[in-house]
Amino acid sequence: MDASGIRRVFDLGARLERPINLSIGQPDFAVPEPLRRALSHAALENRAGYSVTQGIAPLLEAIWAHLERDIGWRGPSEDLGCIVTSGTSGGLLLAAMALLDPGDEMIAGDPFFVLYPQLGPLTGGRVVLCDTYPDFRLTAERVEPLITERTKALILNSPSNPCGTVLSGAEILDLVDLCRRRRVLLITDEIYDLFCFEDGREQGRCPSPARAGEQCLLIRGFGKTYGCTGWRVGYAAGPRRLVQEMAKIQQYTFVCAPTPAQHALVGAFECDLSPIVAEYQRRRDLVVAAFDGVTSVPRPAGAFYAFVEVPPRLGMSGTEFVERAIERSVLVIPGKVFSRRDTHFRLSYATRPDHLEEGLAILRELMSG
């Protein structure tokens, strides 16, 4: 395994005097105050021990109430289970460990979130990448030829990291249908579900395969949504047998998600984050406008990233362009960290708006010159 390419950019950035950091993968707002207070209350109450592996009851109840409102799932039931995990990464790793035997395959889109390909070496399975350039849409048509008798799962990530792509309800239904026909489990990584803009929403919500039935494994997190990535809490809900296997592995590995943070997040679903989502949508518009006429950026409809092509006329790889940007103090991440190709870079707009505007002007200038 290679060290994460993102860390390498952080190291380079640490040497800059005044970095304009457009590489950050976490929200730039403070955790809502009620949640911070609840965390400090949990610490004062000395809620410091292990929790049950599955997660504390009040948090599981809050999650089920939210899932019923949001996607119509009623649990826990004979068919449906839920487990609180150590971040979304914890849920993804447990799922891969529970599902994949050596030689089994799991399909993920390219570009991908950095953990996905590593789930192969971590489990003995094989992650098969589905090329989604140039529009970054993981469609059933692109996925179907990659399914073999060893395919156990398909990972869908919408809104996506690193592209901000939000699939439409129709595209998602095609994937659900394909997975049903070919008996492949659909894992839906919805860590950015709340960061879905008006043009990505359908009937006011972010399209999700979970609304088409209970056959998928839904993995979500609190870290990005509430700006508390370091609290390390996420959850996985879906077929009860699979969730039980994941719980067994959690017993021996993570043991439980951090207990004080679980207590702090019981009230999370009551926080209104719509002003923040509106602000991110405004920044997304700035990003798209900044590159208009100089390069191609499929319009992101969610998350807080854009995946930008280095104009081919510059004759530079993504990595070479990123080195030029760093010379001008702008930190972005080479596309090859998220892809087999090295033609793009990832820009995050979860950063100070004045830095964002300054950084965009420099990137545009580098592309035009």
Residues 323-342 that bind ligand PLP (CB under 6 A): none
Backbone angles phi, psi at 303, to 5 degrees: 55, -150
**Residue 6: CB minimum distance to ligand PLP, A:** 9
Residue from 234, 238, 300, 334 binding ligand PLP (CB under 6 A): 234
Q: Would you mind telling me the total number of residues written for the chain in this entry? A: 369
Report the residue number, 51 or 295, with the smaller CB distance to ligand PLP: 51
**Residue 219: CB minimum distance to ligand PLP, A:** 8
Stretch that binds ligand PLP, among 82-90, 196-204, 245-253, 346-354 (CB under 6 A): 82-90
Residue 258 binds ligand PLP, judged by CB under 6 A: no
Residue 189 binds ligand PLP, judged by CB under 6 A: yes
**Residue 294: CB minimum distance to ligand PLP, A:** 27
**Residue 160: CB minimum distance to ligand PLP, A:** 7
Would you give the binding string for ligand PLP spanning residues 285-314, x where CB under 6 A is met?
------------------------------
Residue 157 binds ligand PLP, judged by CB under 6 A: yes
Report the residue number, 30 or 361, with the smaller CB distance to ligand PLP: 30
Residues binding ligand PLP: number (CB under 6 A): 13
Residue 89 binds ligand PLP, judged by CB under 6 A: yes
Residue from 73, 113, 280, 345 binding ligand PLP (CB under 6 A): 113
Backbone angles phi, psi at 241, to 5 degrees: -65, -40
| Residues at the contact surface with ligand PLP, assessed by CB under 6 A | 25, 87-89, 113, 157, 161, 189, 191, 221, 223, 229, 234
